[in-house]
Amino acid sequence: MRLDRLLSLLALGTRSQAREIVKGGRIAVNGQTERNVDRRLNKGDQIVLDGQPLDARTVRHVMLYKPCGVLTAAMDKKQKTVLDLLPPVYKACGCMPVGRLDKDTEGLLLLSTDGEMAHRLLSPKRHVQKCYRAEVDGPLNDADIAAFRQGLALSDFTAQPAKLEILSSCAEKAVALVWVGEGKYHQVRRMFAARGRTVKALKRLSIGPLALDESLHPGEYRELEPQKLQMLLSAVSGEENP
Ligand code: URA
């Protein structure tokens, strides 16, 4: 990769601003000042800006605790998006949300520069299970568990069989965990609606083997550790199922 491109991927400015940084002698590569903007970099090159080592990673995977009230989008003219919750380097290097959560859903959102992994995680044919905690406005019972297990008929499609586990239930409200292997628009809310319940609060707890880090607060993020990333990649390796 060329030096000016790398600097712009690291959110240090537009391509032309990056070129000015280089021409100004502010960059050193492997200990030597480098003023050539066309310089091609090799893996492992040490890059220093104004005497400070640069974190030159352009491949990023982030776990975000998406709060309610924020859009799952890369940008929006009016509303705050999940990319606005991260430092600019993530947007600059092309980190994108993997799937989406509704504006009023909170919980685990993965953002990644790896489009292929994202595609695999989202494919309904891979049945990667996403677990949600839902609070609904009335009781749930065994008939609901059976209906989820069978596959609920919604207006435009029949949902794949899903597991429902009731954590508590009384006349006014119930709390349940639900696992779904696909991610259609408003899917979980629509599945409960098909059973006559309105979802009052929805939180995603996990995607496949990756659980929301309990130490994160809404709006906080962290980079995925290599072993967590490896777990995710293993979960989506191999052929798709019908
Ligand atoms: N299902 C929904 O209804 N909403 C979400 O945000 C995620 C799954």
240 in a domain, yes or no? Answer: no
- Annotated catalytic residues are 102
What is the structure's pLDDT at 158?
94
Shared domain for 222 and 116, answered yes or no, is yes
- Work out how many domains the chain is built from and give that number: 3
For residue range 145-154, list pLDDT tens digits in order.
999 999 999 9
241 in a domain, yes or no? Answer: no
Shared domain for 194 and 223, answered yes or no, is no
Which residue has better confidence, 95 or 237? 95
Shared domain for 26 and 43, answered yes or no, is yes
Q: Which of 120, 124, 98 is nearest to 109 (CA)?
A: 98
Residue 146: give its domain's CATH number: 3.30.70.1560
Q: Which of 182, 190, 202 to mutate to test the pocket of ligand 1 (most atoms within 8 A of CB)?
A: 202
Phi, psi of 122 (to 5 degrees): -90, -20
Shared domain for 141 and 200, answered yes or no, is yes
**Nearest residue by C-alpha to atom 3 in ligand 1:** 186
90 in a domain, yes or no? Answer: yes
What is the structure's pLDDT at 242?
65
pLDDT tier at 43 (50, 70, 90 boundaries)?
confident
Contact 71, 32 (CB under 8 A): no
Mean pLDDT of the residues in the chain: 94
Per-residue pLDDT at 240 exceeds 80: no
Element (H, E) at 190: helix 187-194
Shared domain for 23 and 134, answered yes or no, is no
Shared domain for 36 and 81, answered yes or no, is no
Residue 73: give its domain's CATH number: 3.30.70.580
Bridge partners (DSSP) of residue 137 are none
Per-residue pLDDT at 241 exceeds 80: no
Cα–Cα dist 84/90, whole Å: 10
Q: Which domain holds residue 99?
A: 61-124+210-235
Ligand 1 atom nearest to CA at 180:
8
Shared domain for 18 and 71, answered yes or no, is no
**Nearest residue by C-alpha to atom 7 in ligand 1:** 101
Shared domain for 189 and 141, answered yes or no, is yes
Give Dmax over CA atoms of the chain in angstroms: 72
242 in a domain, yes or no? Answer: no
Mean pLDDT of 40-50: 93
Cα–Cα dist 145/198, whole Å: 16
Shared domain for 75 and 138, answered yes or no, is no
Cα–Cα dist 157/175, whole Å: 25
Contact 110, 61 (CB under 8 A): yes
Span from the CA of 215 to the centroid of ligand 1 (angstroms): 23
Residue 43: give its domain's CATH number: 3.10.290.10
Shared domain for 114 and 222, answered yes or no, is yes
89 in a domain, yes or no? Answer: yes
For residue range 161-210, list pLDDT tens digits in order.
999 999 999 999 999 999 999 989 999 999 999 999 999 999 999 999 99
46 in a domain, yes or no? Answer: yes
Shared domain for 120 and 222, answered yes or no, is yes
Token pair 């049945």 in the structure block, residue: 127
Token pair 């597991």 in the structure block, residue: 163
Ligand 1 neighbourhood includes 12 CB (under 6 angstroms): no
**Other Cβ atoms closer than 10 A to 240:** 11
Cα–Cα dist 2/5, whole Å: 5
What is the structure's pLDDT at 237?
85
Mean pLDDT of 105-119: 95
pTM of the model as a whole: 0.91
Cα–Cα dist 168/212, whole Å: 22
Shared domain for 82 and 114, answered yes or no, is yes
Phi, psi of 56 (to 5 degrees): -95, 20
DSSP single-letter state for residue 218? T
